[in-house]
Amino acid sequence: MKKSKTRNIIGIVLGIILLVIVVLAFRRYSQKIQSNIDEYASTTLNEFTALQKNAVYSRLNENMNLLNNIAVLLEFEHTSFSQAEEVIQNIEIYHEFSQLLLFDVNGNVITSDQKAAEIEYKDIAAQFQDGDSIFHNPILSPINGDYMLPISCPIYDENKEEILYVLVGLHSLEVIKSFIENSFNENGNIGVITSDGELLFSNQLIQQELSIRDKYLEYLFEAVTTSFTKEQLLEDMSVKKSGTFIYYYEENEIFLQYVPLEINDWYIVIHINKSSLASRANIGTRAALQFLGTFGLCILILVIYIYVANSRVKKELYQLAFYDKLTKLPNGEYFKLKAEHILSKNSENTFLCIVFDICNFKLINDRFGSAIGDKVLCTVSNVIKEALGVFPAGTSFLAKLHSDTFVVLLPANITDDYEKKTLELIDHIRLATDFIGEYKLDLSLGRYFTQENDTSDIVLERALTAHSHAKRVAPNQFVNYDSIFIRSLHRRADILNSFDDAIKNGEFQIYFQPQFSASTKEIRGAEILVRWIKDEKIRYTPDAFIPVLEEAGRISKLDSYLREELCITIRSWLDAKMRLPHFSVNVSRIELMQSEFVTNLQTLLMKYDIDPTMIHIEVTETAYTGDHEYLVNKIIELQSCGFYVEMDDFGSGYSSLNVLKDIPIDIVKLDMKFIEDSTVRSGNILSSVVRMAKSIDLITIAEGVETQEQVSYLESIGCNYLQGYFFAKPMPKDEFFSLLEKEQ
Ligand code: C2E
Ligand code: CA
Ligand code: CA
């Protein structure tokens, strides 16, 4: 009896001890799990914050770079305020800016879209101190009442001393919001604030309760319970310190992490509901209970669970930081990482990096709507991805850099005909995008062949530079980043830098290339061709400098100088009682489009008392594409003043013979390519052009005539005038004068 009582007591004591041990073990274990979960949660939060910060920071800086590039372009080319309008309106993509503005110091403004400017110069100018580019706090647009985030950048005078203009890019609220993506949905908020607690921009959720430029921190600390204070936070932010604290809001435990954005005094602030970070917390606790019964199994389940949850959250984070939402393609950041890997793994091989975008993509969006625009981008991405399938796995890579700009890296093979393959690919793309009807997609393509020890940053930067120049050449053709390209960049810079002095120093001279009657072989005219001569040597050929001047908007300066030189020469010859033929001058399309062009020309001829019928205006065939009606009116205006109008380079472009009927020109000048190609087919075309021209009373001139056979053939089909090396090369004025004298 006594024995059994003692046993019972021992049993109870043992039981109690066991229970205490079990309870203690459980408590310890669940605490441990809890702290692991906390640790896991905070690691995830840190990772998430870093990625978010990086995304916002690089997006903003990318946009600032673009703006700086445009500014450098304007500065470098000494573009005047009025010329700048054309430049900024012709920039095809404003990237993520909804509008570009150019202010002069008086507050006059030019806009990229010809819409009224949404901000005032004083809003921006007040913040210019040391003249660097600036990210501004959001400004309220007086037009639509929305906030805009401006970036501004000064443009200096030649001596880099005075600010002439200020270039401003505006981001709309929608774009700003898209800077911040949130993979934690309703459980997470992200905002960017100033160091004194004003909200600059944030994702949708915060904005439902707060608006931009509100006192964000005041609102926060009033609404939530926390042991952390606003003062503590402000103090941290004043010394650019990062930190994390927990607050409670409507029974939720929320992590708040604040990290300097490294732009101005801006901070990125991330709130994440702890439960969403560590949604395993409760399951974890339960698992701890079961663990007491079934140790091994629980551990296993826990390990698997942590692994899966961890990789899912990570995947979401990576998706967020490294992928384009629309096409699901990797973005530029990921491209750099991946390219680095591919390049270092295959260091002996050459790779080809191509950056491309869709020409006039904005037009597609405007015309067909952004849903179709999106579909086009996805289709392009799919076609290219499929085409890359031919390369061994892990050696090629497609990514989307921004809006409609993509980048590809692929193994280079010297024997490959990339031009042909690319044209085939473009055909594929056009076929796959037939849902936009007749509209045919074109691409601007820049490429770079990698060299030993290139980093992915270098590779991408060079392909991007080539691409930015691809916009200047015809679409669907590669611009290579190679030594020729670099030389052409230098040449371009040299041409533009020395142009003004060259005019002053009289380095530009007019040369005369005689035009002969096909029947009598007498001189009937001369084409005026410019020569850039320094120290008795040709400095650049017209084909090298004319396109550069045209593109930089400087050609008018040269051509009006040359025309004045011509008039002075003609006047002196007339005064010498010389019988003169006509003179053909080349006029670039840009000049022709200027409203005062015809009046200026008339004034000039009046000044030197020269009859307009002596002057032929040569307009190249390609100028006839574009604003047809405007051009026709210009031609009629010229003719009504007495000038003759010639269509230059006929046959070099795409105009059909019908153009001859549609445009009221007087003379058609047949491109030498017609003649160079002496096949029967081109002979037939040539004779039918001449026949047709005659039937509508047009005069024909053949240029580039080099051989006796060509002369005989042109005579036989009834061509009126002949010009070319067979007769004479372009010559200085004194030589031409002697030639004329001989004929008199
Ligand atoms: P373009 O108007 O088609 O001028 C004809 C070009 O063919 C000239 O080249 C001329 O020297 C060249 N040429 C003439 N006969 C022959 C020949 O028998 N064989 C060959 N192979 N070539 C011949 P240039 O002078 O180098 O001018 C090139 C282009 O530059 C011109 O093409 C014109 O578009 C532009 N250009 C030249 N001078 C001026 C100018 O003063 N103002 C403007 N806006 N453009 C000019
Ligand atoms: Ca010409
Ligand atoms: Ca020509």
Helix (H), strand (E), coil (C) string for 168-195: EEEEEHHHHHHCCCCCCHHHEEEEEECC
Question: How many whole angstroms from 711 Cα to the centroid of ligand 3?
Answer: 17
Question: How many whole angstroms from 698 Cα to the centroid of ligand 1?
Answer: 22
Beta strands 478-480; 443-449: pairing state: parallel
Written as one string, the DSSP assignment of 217-239 is HHHHHHHSB-SS-HHHHHHHHHT
> Which of ligand 1's atoms lies nearest the C-alpha of 671?
3
For ligand 1, atom 41, the nearest C-alpha belongs to 530
DSSP β-bridge partners for residue 523 = 516
Task: Confirm if 645 and 667 have CB atoms less than 8 A apart.
Answer: yes
User: Helical H runs in 240-369?
Assistant: 274-277, 281-293, 295-322, 332-345, 361-368
How many Å apart are CA 27 and CA 313, to the nearest integer? 28
Whether the CB of 31 sits within 6 Å of ligand 1: no
Question: How many whole angstroms from 698 Cα to the centroid of ligand 2?
Answer: 17
pLDDT tens digits, one per residue of 567-576: 999 999 999 9
For ligand 1, atom 27, the nearest C-alpha belongs to 542
Q: Which ligand is nearest to the CA of 516?
A: 1
For ligand 1, atom 24, the nearest C-alpha belongs to 542
For residue 329, the surrounding DSSP H or E stretch is: none
Whether the CB of 71 sits within 6 Å of ligand 1: no
> Which of ligand 1's atoms lies nearest the C-alpha of 649?
3
**Tally of CB atoms within 10 A around 619:** 25
Task: Confirm if 582 and 570 have CB atoms less than 8 A apart.
Answer: no
Q: Which residues contact 503 (CB under 8 A, 6 or more apart)?
A: 557, 558, 561
> Which of ligand 1's atoms lies nearest the C-alpha of 541?
26
Q: Which of 442, 433, 445 is nearest to 368 (CA)?
A: 433
Q: Which of 364, 374, 496 is nearest to 443 (CA)?
A: 364
Q: Which residues contact 483 (CB under 8 A, 6 or more apart)?
A: none
Question: How many whole angstroms from 648 Cα to the centroid of ligand 2?
Answer: 6
For ligand 1, atom 35, the nearest C-alpha belongs to 542
Task: Confirm if 78 and 157 have CB atoms less than 8 A apart.
Answer: no
How many Å apart are CA 547 and CA 556, to the nearest integer? 12
Q: Is 199 helix (H, G, I), strand (E, B) or coil?
A: strand
Whether the CB of 648 sits within 6 Å of ligand 1: yes
Longest dimension (CA), the chain: 155
Question: How many whole angstroms from 557 Cα to the centroid of ligand 2?
Answer: 18
How many Å apart are CA 105 and CA 109, to the nearest integer? 9
Whether the CB of 701 sits within 6 Å of ligand 1: no
Whether the CB of 514 sits within 6 Å of ligand 1: no
For residue 617, the surrounding DSSP H or E stretch is: strand 615-620
How many Å apart are CA 664 and CA 189, to the nearest integer? 66
Residue of 586, 619, 674 with the most ligand 1 atoms within 8 Å of its CB, for mutation: 586
For ligand 1, atom 8, the nearest C-alpha belongs to 529
DSSP β-bridge partners for residue 618 = 586, 646
Burial group, residue 554, by CB count within 10 angstroms (0-12, 13-18, 19+): buried
**DSSP letter assigned to residue 98:** S
Q: Is the dihedral of CA 371, 372, 374, 375 positive or negative?
A: positive
pLDDT tens digits, one per residue of 583-599: 999 998 888 888 999 99
Task: Confirm if 407 and 331 have CB atoms less than 8 A apart.
Answer: no
CA geometry: angle 680, 684, 686, nearest 5 deg: 115
**DSSP letter assigned to residue 215:** B
b/e map 140-161, b = 16+ CB within 10 Å: ebeeeeebbbbbbbbbeeeeee
Q: Is 626 helix (H, G, I), strand (E, B) or coil?
A: coil
Task: List the shell of residues around ion ligand 3, using CB closer than 5 Å.
Answer: 648-649
Question: How many whole angstroms from 664 Cα to the centroid of ligand 2?
Answer: 18
Cα 700 to Cα 171, 186, 664, 703, 728, distances in angstroms: 55, 75, 14, 10, 19
Low-confidence ranges of the chain (pLDDT < 50): 280-281, 283, 678-681
Question: How many whole angstroms from 530 Cα to the centroid of ligand 1?
Answer: 8
pLDDT the model gives residue 281 = 45
Q: Is 245 helix (H, G, I), strand (E, B) or coil?
A: strand
How many Å apart are CA 529 and CA 374, to the nearest integer? 48
How many Å apart are CA 618 and CA 623, to the nearest integer? 10
For residue 56, the surrounding DSSP H or E stretch is: helix 2-76
Whether the CB of 646 sits within 6 Å of ligand 1: no
> Which of ligand 1's atoms lies nearest the C-alpha of 528?
41
**DSSP letter assigned to residue 137:** P
Q: What is the pTM of this model?
A: 0.51
Q: Which residues contact 260 (CB under 8 A, 6 or more apart)?
A: 237, 240, 242, 266, 267, 268
Cα 416 to Cα 28, 352, 355, distances in angstroms: 67, 11, 18
Whether the CB of 566 sits within 6 Å of ligand 1: no
The amino acid at residue 604 is L
Q: Which tokens is 173 given? A: 């609220």
User: Helical H runs in 224-280?
Assistant: 230-238, 274-277
Rounded to 10°, the helix 483-504/555-575 angle is: 50
Whether the CB of 547 sits within 6 Å of ligand 1: no
Q: Which residues contact 473 (CB under 8 A, 6 or more apart)?
A: 479
Q: Which ligand is nearest to the CA of 542?
A: 1
Whether the CB of 186 sits within 6 Å of ligand 1: no
> Which of ligand 1's atoms lies nearest the C-alpha of 591?
44
